[in-house]
Amino acid sequence: MKTTGLDGLWQAGRDFLGVRYPLMCGAMTWISDSTLVKAVGAQGGFGCLAAGNMPGEALAEEIRNCREGSDAPFAVNLVTIAPNFPAHKEAVLASEAPIVIFAGNFPKKNDVAQMKAAGKKVVSFASTDSIAEQMVRFGVDALILEGSEAGGHIGHVSLMILLQQVLFKNPGVPVFVAGGIATGRMIAHMLLMGAAGVQMGTRFVMSEECHAHPNLKARFAKARAREAMSTPEYDKRLPIVAVRALKNKSTEEFGRLQLELLQQMNAGTLGHAEAQVKVESFWMGGLKKAAVDGDVDRGSCMAGQSVGLVDKVQPMAEIFAELLGEAETELEAVKARLATIG
C-alpha cells in the first residue's frame, strides 16, 4: 500500500524494528503466540511474542516457530516478575530473536547489558517519566510509552500525559506509544507528535488469525470503552496490581472479596499475609479461562479502552489496509487544514 505521508514520519521506527510498517502488536499472554506474530509480520508489521510464564523450553520452541517460514523481524516480551523469567532470559539469549522487550516490573541494568552483549536490541516499557529516564540511563535502545488506557497490567498515568512528559522532551531513543489506540487517524497524529511507531493489542485480538477464543472476540465486539475498567484498590494495606479488563461477574466478586478481607483484618480475625495471598490468588488462571477456554463471565477479559472502537473480527490484511488508509487520509486532511492557515 502507498504510504507516502507516513514514510516521511516513521522512518526512525522502520529502521529500528526493521519492518515496513512500525505498527507493533502488543504481547498478550495466552494470545500473542507465534501464529499471531507471523500474521502481523506477513503484513509488514511487527509482532511481539508473549513469554508469559511458559516453561523456558516452550518459549525456545515458540521462538523457533516465529522463524519457521518467515524472515520478518519480531520481539520476545519478557515479564521480569514471572517465576520463569531466568529461564526465559536464557532462551532469548540463545535464540535468533533480534529484539527483547522487558515488561512487568522493570529490568535491572545487568539484564539490559546481557541482552545487548548478545547482540539484541533492548526495549522497555515506561509508565512514568522517571522510569523512562532510568531505562535510558540503563542503556535501553528504545522505549514504549504505555498509558493507563491500555489493557492488561497497567500503570497509573494516561498516554496523554506521558506524551508531554517524555515524548515531547526527546529522551534520545526512539519512542513507541501505546494505550487507547485502534484507528489510523490516531496513528497519524501520534506520528505527527514525534512517535517512532505505535503499539496496539486489542485491535489485533479482533483479527481472524488471532487464536483468542471466539467468545472473547464476541465480548470485545459488544463492549463499550467504559466497560474496560481498572481493578480498584480499596486500602493500601491490601495492595492490588492494577489490571484493565472488561467488567464481569468476577470483577464484582473481586471487589466483594477485598471488602470482606479488609473487614476481617479490621476485626483481627485475619492476618495481612494471609489476606494478601487470598487477594493475589483470586485471578490465578483468570486470563487463560477467558482467552483460551472462553469463559468471559468468570475469566479475566483483559482489554484496553480502545475496545470501544472495535466491533468486528477481520482478516489481518484488512485491518492493516484500514489502519494505513485512514492514516494516510488523515495526514492529507491535516496538510489541507494547515494550508488554509498559510
Q: Are residues 99 and 184 in the same domain?
A: yes
Nearest alpha carbon to residue 93 among 111, 80, 108: 111
Nearest alpha carbon to residue 155 among 169, 144, 141: 144
Q: How many domains does the chain fold into? A: 2
Question: What is the side-by-side strand order in the sheet with 228-230?
Answer: 152-153, 243-246, 228-230
Domain encompassing residue 126: 4-212+311-341
Q: What is the DSSP string of 156-183?
A: SS-HHHHHHHTGGG--SS-EEEESS--S
- Could you identify the residue written with the cell 507465534? 34
Q: Are residues 278 and 318 in the same domain?
A: no
Q: Are residues 281 and 254 in the same domain?
A: yes
Q: Are residues 112 and 179 in the same domain?
A: yes
Q: Are residues 168 and 226 in the same domain?
A: no
pTM: 0.95
Radius of gyration from C-alpha coordinates of the chain: 20
- Contact (Cβ atoms closer than 8 angstroms) between residue 117 and residue 128: no
Q: Are residues 195 and 248 in the same domain?
A: no
CATH number at 134 reads 3.20.20.70
Number of CB atoms found within 10 A of residue 339's CB? 8
Q: Are residues 176 and 272 in the same domain?
A: no
pLDDT of residue 98: 97
pLDDT of residue 333: 97
As given in the structure block, the three cell numbers for residue 168 are 515531547
* pLDDT (tens place) for every residue of the chain, 342 residues total: 889 999 999 999 999 999 999 999 999 999 999 999 999 999 999 999 999 999 999 999 999 999 999 999 999 999 999 999 999 999 999 999 999 999 988 899 999 999 999 999 999 999 999 999 999 999 999 999 999 999 999 999 999 999 999 999 999 999 999 999 999 999 999 999 999 999 999 999 999 999 999 999 999 999 999 999 999 899 999 998 889 999 999 999 999 999 999 999 999 999 999 999 998 889 889 999 999 999 999 999 999 999 999 999 999 999 999 999 999 999 999 999 999 996
Q: Are residues 77 and 225 in the same domain?
A: no
pLDDT of residue 280: 86
Q: Are residues 164 and 285 in the same domain?
A: no
Q: Are residues 245 and 153 in the same domain?
A: no
